[in-house]
A and B are shown apart, each in its own frame.
Chain A
């Protein structure tokens, strides 16, 4: 296969060359353990602290409020489980949404088995959380609201400031899973009233296996990983120094290029959406038309199933993903697509294309042609389409 068109940047991204370059010395030269006393270790320590500062600046936080983790999932687990423990005197109730990532949903289910009560608030047909429902869900025992910044599947951006204000008014902690948003959208933790925020480096051209949890000063959540005194005694374990340095470099790069990148990606994304909706019949766009991540397009093609579509796209060198059951390993399609009200058979036929700053119009033209051809081929094979065509003929 000669051609490779990577349109799965919400899954992971290519590590940027300057990020790799920044990391290399921390494998070979500055390999000291940051906790050690000698000069070699000081180099490692400096690398870590510089990255922490760079990241803190981007979200308007203090550097001591950034805690490095092994990724977004760990940060989500930590925020929820440690908050439940720390605030158990106050209450045992958490509010979240129905479209969170499994790192949040499965952690909530775990907590429910351990005595917590969780309200999963509905979203509307565009995937935006129902604010009135969220307000009604607040109880005197509510200790935490956790709502994602932007959705990983359909790209919808949540009204974070509004949710943050509601949480603040009621004296409830507010956590946001910003794995898809950090480095993609402007985030200011004070302005948005965010108390905790999870993120992950590999979504913004950084390395895999590194993320952070922002914890506002004064929030008393404890360590989740026990051991040494690293990360102000809140996250034990020798620091992933090259990873942290790489994250710093990636974050800096993402913040610097954000405006330009957003403009370019939004234009490309809109071009893709318009062409697909116009040229492929019986197709819908999932997620909000404008309040969505600049690089996200998510479609449902009626009468076909997503996994077949993905394999055929792969055959043409196109990397994409789907919310069909067959790609999730369960019988049900994506919980996000069901939450926005799609019937199962439509949810099975979904396709997520997530662009990068390198995506070109030529690539998108190739992708649109490929999608048209493959969707047509699968529909010719589909008994659902056959029934639909026959019913339409009878109708005439």
Chain B
């Protein structure tokens, strides 16, 4: 059900871990729905992301999207990082099964949440960054089955 890339990033996730005194940390998702992502950013004085780490509680797709998201933001400026969409994460992973698309949204939200934390800590405003929802499942409803 998963592409080879997804399996690779799940089995050998890149950048797992924490960054002590990170410039920004973002945690999104909720345990009730079975996925939580936390992204740590180390951002230098030129607003370039020097390092990025993650921790994720969730399914294979949640781990793989976190791993890919950290790869994509590394070395980017905060403005470039802001442009990384869930679609870009999915494409980089050669796609996700439809039921797992929300995992990629979670990855995008986690980056935004970490950037938001960075901006708040440093008293700056990042143009185009909106306060991220802490829980992307809000408002999401299960499909009603037909009988």
Q: Which interface residue of A311, A315, A383, A386 has the most chain B CB atoms within 10 A? A: A383
What 1/0 flags go to B21-50 for Cβ under 8 Å of A? 000000100011111111000000000000
What 1/0 flags go to A109-129 for Cβ under 8 Å of B? 110010000000000000000
Knowing A325-B33, A326-B34, the reply to whether A311 touches B10 (Cβ < 8 A) is yes
Q: Is the CB of B137 within 8 A of A331?
A: yes
A308→B36 CA distance, assembly (Å): 13
In this assembly, does B18 line the interface, its C-beta being within 8 Å of a C-beta of chain A?
yes
In this assembly, does A324 line the interface, its C-beta being within 8 Å of a C-beta of chain B?
yes
Chain A residues with Cβ below 8 Å from B63 are 308, 381
In this assembly, does B124 line the interface, its C-beta being within 8 Å of a C-beta of chain A?
no
Q: Which interface residue of B10, B13, B31 has the most chain A CB atoms within 10 A? A: B31
How far does the Cβ of B57 sit from chain A's closest Cβ, in whole Å? 5
Chain B residues with Cβ below 8 Å from A324 are 34, 59
A324→B59 CA distance, assembly (Å): 9
Q: Is the CB of B37 within 8 A of A305?
A: no
Q: Is the CB of B11 within 8 A of A303?
A: no
Chain B contact surface mostly: mixed
Q: Which interface residue of A110, A311, A312, A380 has the most chain B CB atoms within 10 A? A: A311
Across chains A and B, the number of contacting residue pairs, with CB separation under 8 Å, is: 78
User: Taking CB as reference atom, which chain B residue is nearest A330?
Assistant: B142
A330→B33 CA distance, assembly (Å): 9
Chain B residues with Cβ below 8 Å from A345 are 31-32, 34, 57
Number of B interface residues in the complex (CB < 8 A): 31
Chain A residues with Cβ below 8 Å from B38 are 383, 386
CB < 8 Å neighbour of A386 from B7, B18, B137: B18
CB < 8 Å neighbour of B147 from A113, A332, A333: A113
Chain A residues with Cβ below 8 Å from B10 are 308, 311
Chain A interface residue number, banded: 20 to 34
Chain A residues with Cβ below 8 Å from B18 are 386
Chain A residues with Cβ below 8 Å from B31 are 344-345, 348, 384
In this assembly, does B56 line the interface, its C-beta being within 8 Å of a C-beta of chain A?
yes
Chain A residues with Cβ below 8 Å from B7 are 311
In this assembly, does B58 line the interface, its C-beta being within 8 Å of a C-beta of chain A?
yes
User: Taking CB as reference atom, which chain B residue is nearest A112?
Assistant: B147
In this assembly, does B16 line the interface, its C-beta being within 8 Å of a C-beta of chain A?
yes
Chain A residues with Cβ below 8 Å from B27 are 383
Q: Is the CB of A305 within 8 A of B137?
A: no
User: Taking CB as reference atom, which chain A residue is nearest B67?
Assistant: A381
CB < 8 Å neighbour of A382 from B55, B140, B145, B147: B55
How far does the Cβ of B34 sit from chain A's closest Cβ, in whole Å? 4
In this assembly, does B95 line the interface, its C-beta being within 8 Å of a C-beta of chain A?
no
In this assembly, does A304 line the interface, its C-beta being within 8 Å of a C-beta of chain B?
yes
Chain B residues with Cβ below 8 Å from A305 are 34-35, 57-59, 62
In this assembly, does A395 line the interface, its C-beta being within 8 Å of a C-beta of chain B?
no
Q: Is the CB of A383 within 8 A of B56?
A: yes
Q: Is the CB of A311 within 8 A of B36?
A: no
Q: Is the CB of A331 within 8 A of B142?
A: yes
In this assembly, does A307 line the interface, its C-beta being within 8 Å of a C-beta of chain B?
yes
In this assembly, does A329 line the interface, its C-beta being within 8 Å of a C-beta of chain B?
yes
What 1/0 flags go to A329-359 for Cβ under 8 Å of B? 1111100000000001100100000000000
Which residues between 117 and 141 of chain B lie within 8 Å of chain A, taking CB atoms?
Answer: 137, 140
How far does the Cβ of B41 sit from chain A's closest Cβ, in whole Å? 15
Chain B residues with Cβ below 8 Å from A113 are 147
Which residues between 338 and 396 of chain A lie within 8 Å of chain B, taking CB atoms?
Answer: 344-345, 348, 380-386
Chain A residues with Cβ below 8 Å from B56 are 381-383
Q: Is the CB of B59 within 8 A of A326?
A: yes
Chain A residues with Cβ below 8 Å from B145 are 106
Q: Is the CB of A110 within 8 A of B147?
A: yes
In this assembly, does B60 line the interface, its C-beta being within 8 Å of a C-beta of chain A?
yes
What 1/0 flags go to B76-88 for Cβ under 8 Å of A? 0000000000000
A60→B32 CA distance, assembly (Å): 46
Knowing A333-B34, A383-B27, the reply to whether A303 touches B57 (Cβ < 8 A) is yes
Chain A residues with Cβ below 8 Å from B16 are 380-381
How far does the Cβ of B140 sit from chain A's closest Cβ, in whole Å? 7
Q: Which A residues have a C-beta under 8 Å from some C-beta of B?
A: 106, 109-110, 113, 303-305, 307-308, 311-312, 315, 324-326, 329-333, 344-345, 348, 380-386
Q: Beyond A383-B37, A386-B38: 11 further Cβ-contacts under 8 Å? A: A305-B34, A305-B59, A307-B60, A324-B34, A324-B59, A326-B60, A332-B142, A344-B32, A382-B56, A382-B57, A386-B55
Please list 11 pairs of residues, one from A and one from B, whose beta carbons are closer than 8 Å in the complex, sorted by A's number: A106-B145, A109-B147, A113-B147, A303-B57, A305-B34, A308-B59, A311-B60, A332-B142, A348-B31, A382-B55, A384-B57
